[in-house]
Chains A and B, each alone.
Chain A
């Protein structure tokens, strides 16, 4: 097992753990972006450039954005409900 593949697999495992352990949704969004980046590096090392391209855009840009906008909408609804 080459060293870099072992390290990247360990990094992906740690990043997944980080996503689950961040209970506050706003912190979890940043952890998800880091998880996407770690997975992209792992997929590049596994000789899968197509998959890495998808995961890069989806995991670091599209999905965290959707989460952030949902959190903003939830907060806005709470403020309006209180009025």
Chain B
């Protein structure tokens, strides 16, 4: 089953999008968005993996040992930390929405609601 990681990444993304589309609570929606993010991490890291290779840190192994791809690891590493701060920004927005409208249900909120409606 050498296609299992790609299928797991697609499954995680699909499950996350399903959660976002059918969510009844903004905070639950933000959690499902983080599942979508984690699917990209799984995909990228699986693309760089090589059988019988070590981590790309040449402290214990001499330089020249077969190692996995370090470029995708660098991408995922910064992505995880920045993704967490974006989640914090979304949570702050959810707090403001709840303070203004009194509800956290995405299906009860309509966009661009004016003050006089």
Which A residues have a C-beta under 8 Å from some C-beta of B? 1, 6, 9-10, 12-13, 16-17, 19-20, 22-23, 25, 28-29, 31-32, 35, 39, 42-43, 46-51, 54-55, 58-59, 62-63, 66-67, 70-71, 73-74, 77-78, 81
Contact = CB atoms under 8 A, between A and B. Distances in A.
A73 B4 contact: no
What 3 A-B pairs are tightest by C-beta distance, nearest first? Answer: A20-B19, A25-B27, A47-B55
B39 to A, nearest CB: 8
Contacts of A47: 49, 53-56, 67-68
Contact of A25 (B18, B25, B45, B67): B25
A20 B68 CA distance: 31
Given A35-B35, A46-B45, A46-B49, 20 more contacts: A1-B1, A10-B8, A12-B38, A16-B11, A16-B38, A19-B32, A23-B25, A28-B31, A47-B56, A49-B55, A49-B57, A51-B76, A51-B77, A55-B41, A59-B80, A66-B84, A67-B27, A70-B91, A70-B95, A77-B95
A70 B12 CA distance: 25
Instruction: Give the dominant DSSP class at B's interface.
Output: helix
B12 A48 contact: no
Contacts of B25: 23, 25
A59 B34 CA distance: 10
A47 B56 CA distance: 8
B103 to A, nearest CB: 10
A19 B39 CA distance: 13
A83 to B, nearest CB: 14
23 contacts: A1-B4, A9-B5, A16-B16, A16-B39, A19-B19, A19-B31, A23-B28, A25-B25, A28-B31, A39-B41, A39-B42, A46-B46, A51-B45, A51-B73, A51-B76, A51-B80, A58-B80, A58-B81, A63-B34, A66-B87, A66-B88, A77-B99, A78-B102
